[in-house]
Amino acid sequence: MDRLSLIEKAGSEIFDLKLNRVSDLAINGVIVSGTSVEKLNVSNVDGDLAAQLDRDGYLLLRGVHDIAEVEAARLEILQRLAEVGEVNEPIENGLASGTSRRREYYPTIEDLGDFWRSVSEGEAVRAVIHGPRITKVMNRLFGVPASHFTFAWLRAMTPGRASPLHVDHPYMNRGSKRLVTCWTPLSPISLNDGPLYILRDSHRWSDIRQQFEGHDVDRDPSRPGHIEENPLGLMERKNSKFLTSEFSLSDCLVFGMFTVHGSFDNNSENGLIRLSCDTRFQPGEDIMDERFSGRDPRAHGGLGYACLSAALPLNETGTLR
């Protein structure tokens, strides 16, 4: 059986084209069987984007970004991580060192937030995530000129890490109802490196919408923003599937505020750091959530970039203290 047939097989295992071997997709250390996983559909970038987003709850757009520009962003980030001792030489391989001098150089929470802000606002990173290529796609999606949050959620996910199951609405719902997330891989991401997943048809699940609509994690921190139900349990209860893909440097995954998603564990065996950035776009004519706009976005809890777990040294987990 050739490799493509193997990935199509959707049996009990997933074949990873890049690594040329069977790959373990897992969530919190629990293996997800191949029968629970399907490939994300590749959207037609020249087609009716709004209709495809409405139908699928997401747009997987290939060939949006210029590969050389994304590679420049990748190297820019790795260079900054290497400055704080978190990446092994040669830096371009993107392998975590397992140690960090970030707290030594940036001792306070504010300093750590400022460091992450400076990485997130790197010239090459911004040229990709807010550049003319993605903006053109967003203008087409909305049918009016698009604008974007200035705040960006840059992530460097080391092996063992994953993002929890959630919808984005409770984190950013004070502005446009037409807000979308634009998730951009900034390193090539194989199935083993903790790719993002979407639960099939979850944008239509009324119980999830009812549970989270109107919830604002900053106004009511006593209620969690993420979904507490076990991802595998929710997938089975809804007769859904985990939709995912390998991602390459020109890709972009767009989805709405009620599409349920998370990431698989980064199971890289050699310490590969998974780089990605989530940005948010909306029609320019709509009001924007004030926490994430302007020159100095205050973000969650007024903490700026220190609110992100990515502001923690790469060898630490939890929240910033």
Ligand X SMILES: O=C(O)CCC(=O)C(=O)O
Q: Which residues bind ligand X (CB under 6 A)?
A: 155, 163, 168, 181, 183, 196, 261, 263, 276, 278
- Number of neighbours of residue 321 by Cβ within 10 angstroms: 7
Tokens encoding 160: 């063992």
Residue 255 CB, nearest approach to ligand X (Å): 8
CA separation for the pair 33, 20 (Å, rounded): 18
Residue 224 CB, nearest approach to ligand X (Å): 14
Buried-exposed string 199-236: b where 16+ CB fall within 10 A, e elsewhere: bbbbbebeebeeebeebbbbeeeeeebebeeebbebbe
- What does residue 277 show for φ and ψ, rounded to 5 degrees? -140, 130
Residue among 261 and 291 whose Cβ is closer to ligand X: 261
3-state SS, 229-263, equals CCHHHHHHHCCCCEEECCECCCCEEEEECCCCEEE
Residue among 85 and 134 whose Cβ is closer to ligand X: 134
Residue 27 CB, nearest approach to ligand X (Å): 12
Residue among 112 and 182 whose Cβ is closer to ligand X: 182
Helix, strand, coil tally for the chain in percent (to 5): 35, 20, 45
Residue among 196 and 320 whose Cβ is closer to ligand X: 196
Residue 155 CB, nearest approach to ligand X (Å): 5
Residue 278 CB, nearest approach to ligand X (Å): 3
Residue among 13 and 265 whose Cβ is closer to ligand X: 265
